[in-house]
Structure formats: C-alpha cells, structure tokens
Amino acid sequence: MENRLTMYNSLTKKEELFVPNEDGKVGMYTCGPTVYHYAHIGNLRSYIMEDLLEKTLRYLHYDVKRVMNITDVGHLSSDADTGEDKMLKGARREHKTVMEIAQFYTDAFFEDCRKLNIKRPDVVEPATNCIDEFIHMITVLLEKGYAYEMGGNIYFDTSKLQNYYVFSGQSDMELLVGVRDDVEEDANKKNKSDFVLWFTKSKFEDQELKWESPWGLGYPGWHIECSCISMKHLGEFMDIHCGGVDNIFPHHTNEIAQSESYLGHKWCNYWFHVHHLNDKTGKMSKSKGDFLTVSLLESKGYNPLAYRLFCLQSHYRKPLEFSYENLDNVTSAYNKLIKRIGDLSEEGEIEQEKFDAYRKQFEDALCSDLNSSMALTVLYEMLKADMNDRTKRELAKSFDEVLSLDLLTAQTAGEVQHSEIDAELESYVLAKIEERAAAKKAKDFATADAIRSELLERGIVLEDTREGVKWKKA
Ligand code: AMP
Ligand code: ZN
C-alpha cells in the first residue's frame, strides 16, 4: 500500500516518511502508566496523542497491533536506579498491598481512557506477568558480556556500547546524568550511566514483591519490562515506540541499549514522543501533591472530551500550558461544534466528489506529522463549505473515527450537559464556600484566600454579605 504519513522521528531528529517493516502492518508499543496513583491530565495528553496516531494509522488502512505495559513493579521514585519504589510508596500511603494498589489504579486509568475516548490497546500486559521473560533477557545479556553482577544487583554495562546516547549528543546527556547522580550515587556501578536490570535482596529489603532468579530473590528494574513485553507481542522488529518526552532519557535510551544488545540488530525504527502538559508552575507530575485528574475536571463540570479537544488543538511536539480559562474557551467551542453538527439534516444524497476531496484534506493534515489542529481546521472549513447537510454529516462521522470527540452522538447530551454543568458548578462552589468558612474559623486565612483565588480563576466571584457568602459568575 502507499505510505503517506510523515512523522518526526526522535531517533533521527527528522520528519520522515513512515514505512513499516511489513507492508500495510504496524507494530506499535506504548509505555503504559505506573499504577501507584491516578493518571494526571498530563499523562493523559500523551495517551490522547498516541491514540490519535494509532487511529490515524487505522484511518489510512494500516493493520495496527498496539501493545501497552502496565508498570506494577520496579519503577523507582527517581528515574535513576535509586530511591523508593513508586508502587510501595502508593501501598504505604493507602495501607494496601502493592497488588491491590496496582489493580485499583489500572482500572482507574482505563476508566479515564474510556471517558476520553482513548482506545484500549490490543494487548495490555502488566510487568508482573512477565518475570520469566525478564530473567531470560538478563541471562542472555550476562552471557553476551553486556551485563555484570555487583553488590547483589545485575547492571547493564553501558561502556560496552559504541553509542549509548542514541537520542542526543553525549555531552548533553552526561550533563543530565551528572545532575541526577549528584543527588544519589550508586557505588556498585562501573560507569555512571549503567543501570539496574535486576535487584536482589541486598537492596531495598522492604520490597513487597520478589521472585526467585538465578541471582537470588529479587525484582526487575523498570526499563527491562518494556523491552521484554514489546518483543513478546511484537517480535524482534518494531515499527513505532511511543511515550512522553521525559521517557527519552533514561528509559528509552536504556530500552534500546538492552534490546539491541540482546537481539544483535536494530530493534525499533520510529520513536514518537509527546511533549509535556505544563501548568503555571511547570511540568505536571504525580509526585507534586495535588494534581489534576479527569475526575477533578468532571467534578468542576467539565466534559472530558473538551479536554481531548484542548489537546487536539495543539501539535503534539509543542509544550502545552493548561489553565481553566483555556479549558472554558474550549468547552464553549466544543458545545458550539456539537450543536452545529447536531443541526445538520440527514436528508439528501452524499456528494461523493466533495466528500472525497475533504476526506483527502483531512488525511493530508494528519499525514503531515499528525497536524491535528490543521485537521480540526478542515472540519470547520468543511462545515462552512457549499455542500449539502448529509455530506457534511457523513464527513463529520468519518473524521470522528480519528478525532473521537463524539461529534454526532454528543448531540443531545450537549443540551443536557449544560444544565448538568450548572448544577455541578453550583455544588462545587458551595463546597468551596464551606471549605473557606472552615478555614476562616480556624484562622487559616492563607487557605481562605487561596480558595477565593481558585474560584476567581474559574470566573467565580465571592461576596461576603450580612446574609452570608454569595457568589456570581464574573
Ligand atoms: P508514568 O505513569 O509516570 O509512567 O507516565 C505515563 C506517561 O505519561 C509516560 O509516557 C510519560 O512520559 C507521560 N507524561 C508524564 N508527565 C507528563 C506531562 N506532564 N505531560 C505529558 N505527558 C507526561
Ligand atoms: Zn517503557
């Protein structure tokens, strides 16, 4: 089949024509969530844009197989091989076992995906399912001389590679490693950039999940899981590997090091990285305490699909800043769009030539490094064009296979949602007013002021009157 999609490849740092290993077929791998907490809307930006890539490939008639891991073991609180285990941290916080935490947050993740119309990958594999595969790969790496045992752990020896820093210049990366290692140094490592493949009881004694291995009772490092899980389901040659930009180093760099050393040949051709969602204070992260989730947006009356539209309006390779003001604007644009499409009649014959021309324009936008904002412009242009309603409806339906904004089905829900939004807004504001009153009573004026500012950011003004606190939309 004809390959038309060009995409930016982080490995070559160029926009390239996408050509899969096998004609018409795509093997795609996504680094899944670390399930020790809810996903924040930054994580979900990455998954929305990866979903867009998958659906674009399907729209272009590729036969796609997509695999995702679930990180339920081995991801430490720093990206280096030091620090506390993230899963264990979650379990302690909630007085649950690691497996209970993993199950709860895996379900919560897929529930968020469902609300955002993110398709579930064809294969979803938790890391704890694949311990034998990890042990096998580590054994081969030891046999081939790419790994060594030190202080009870197995490390990958990065000095065995001609070019370990595949994504970037060595000097940039060493700087980065330097910064990390200034904080916590692992004396067992032969080289600064070496990383752990397997931990044994000699380290992190309190780790809850441990397995027998040729090197003692222990557990795998984080990076090994993605190499093994992707090979298990997609074989030795992969087309596209996805993740957020923070995964480039060390995670994806280490995945390539160990996979290609194990295989003895090139492993994955295209690397797709989504830039971060930031808030005013910088990158959104799970460890920052209060973070933004889909449920929080819903509790404030937002439709999760408005957030999806917010993401689609920007290119995946640009950082994106979140604010409620922006989301309010997108919500109003979304409601108008749904109404506009809902008003289209179903009468008449499809004007095939026009249909084909707009579909081509839409595909061309996506084929240009997944230009989703351009694809949305094609949708708006199409709705204004000289064409009958039926053709417009069918085009909107077709585009929605990729955009997944419920462009046709949200039609009536749009009306209902409006009153729902008002009701939810009201209960949210009332809860905040109560919270503020409690803070004032406790003489915690900083919190009381913070609540007032938070409401103001959402366009809600509070007035302290003799009859009590009143509120209105600014
Ligand atoms: P984690 O659950 O921490 O392993 O992250 C899941 C995915 O979200 C990974 O692909 C990360 O690269 C990505 N990610 C993390 N923070 C952000 C952010 N602020 N914006 C976009 N993607 C992010
Ligand atoms: Zn990964």
> How many A from CA of 42 to the centre of ligand 1?
6
Specify the pLDDT at position 416.
Answer: 42
> How many A from CA of 98 to the centre of ligand 2?
20
| 170: confidence class by pLDDT, cuts 50, 70, 90 | low
Beta strands in 245-364, from DSSP E residues, in sequence order = 268-274, 277-279, 282-283, 320-321
Does residue 221 surpass a pLDDT of 50?
yes
What are 216's two structure tokens? 């003692």
Does residue 235 surpass a pLDDT of 50?
yes
Q: Which of 154-163, 383-392, 464-473 comes out lowest in average pLDDT?
A: 464-473
Atom of ligand 1 nearest to the CA of 276: 20
Specify the pLDDT at position 181.
Answer: 42
For the beta sheet containing 195-200, the strands, ordered from the edge strand earlier in sequence to the opposite edge, are: 147-150, 153-156, 195-200, 218-220
Specify the pLDDT at position 451.
Answer: 87
Of the two residues 254 and 200, the one the predictor is more confident about is 254
Of the two residues 462 and 289, the one the predictor is more confident about is 462
| 182: confidence class by pLDDT, cuts 50, 70, 90 | very low
- What gap in Å lies between CA 64 and CA 126, rounded to an integer? 21
Specify the pLDDT at position 57.
Answer: 98
What lies within 8 Å, CB to CB, of 2 at 6+ separation is none
Q: Is the CB of 46 under 6 A from ligand 1?
A: yes
Q: Is the CB of 30 under 6 A from ligand 1?
A: no
| 457: confidence class by pLDDT, cuts 50, 70, 90 | confident
Does residue 90 surpass a pLDDT of 70?
yes
Average per-residue pLDDT in the chain?
89
Of the two residues 281 and 56, the one the predictor is more confident about is 56
pLDDT tens, position by position, 282-320: 777 766 666 899 999 999 999 999 999 999 999 999 999
pLDDT tens, position by position, 261-275: 999 999 999 999 999
> How many A from CA of 223 to the centre of ligand 2?
6
**What residues does 272 pair with on adjacent strands?**
242
Q: Is the CB of 34 under 6 A from ligand 1?
A: yes
Does residue 176 surpass a pLDDT of 60?
no
Specify the pLDDT at position 403.
Answer: 98
Q: Is the CB of 68 under 6 A from ligand 1?
A: no
